[in-house]
Amino acid sequence: MFSIGELSKRTGVKIPTIRYYEHIGLMDAPERSEGNQRRYTKQGLKCLSFIRHSRELGFSLDDIKGLLELNQQPGSPCKNAHLIAIRHLTEVRVRLTKLRRLERELKRISACRADSIESCAVIETLADHSLCETDH
């Protein structure tokens, strides 16, 4: 049996965040001590680790809810899990592409060597889209 503080230490998830996950129904409410404090079992630890790890991989809480449910139906096909993962992968790739373009643009405008605002490439570029190298 772990207290919420122990669970927090073991998973690296902050205490208010754990309570928040319970509040929104992502984690089951655990048993309580006589004095009304949360007492978690290994099950709770596993669940929270799963959530934490999924968050690190950037899954939304909604996606995680879906994955947790799939996980709790033994024998179910894992096609849905794949759908969620692949959709997420697609999103990540879109973001990657955007960020790469962004990096190029920022690198370019940061390289300006003017010393007053009137001729600063940073400001000029932000004010006028047509000075950009690429669309966005």
Interaction site with DNA (CB under 7 A): 3-6, 8, 14-17, 19-20, 33-38, 55, 60-62
3/49 with CB nearer DNA: 3
SS3 131: helix
Question: Considering only residues 66-95, where is the footprint of its own copies by CB under 8 A?
Answer: 67, 70-71, 73-79, 81-82, 84-86, 88-89, 92-93, 95
100 binds, among its own copies, DNA, none (CB under 5 to 8 A by kind): its own copies
| 29, 18 contact by CB (below 8 A) | no
Measured distance CA(59)–CA(84) in Å, rounded: 9
116 sits near its own copies (criterion: CB under 8 A): yes
How far, rounded to the nearest angstrom, does the alpha carbon of residue 73 sit from its chain's CA centroid?
Answer: 25
SS3 32: strand
100 sits near its own copies (criterion: CB under 8 A): yes
20/50 with CB nearer its own copies: 50
35 binds, among its own copies, DNA, none (CB under 5 to 8 A by kind): DNA
How far, rounded to the nearest angstrom, does the alpha carbon of residue 115 sit from its chain's CA centroid?
Answer: 39
How far is residue 94 from each of residues 54, 87, 88, measured CA to CA in Å?
19, 11, 10
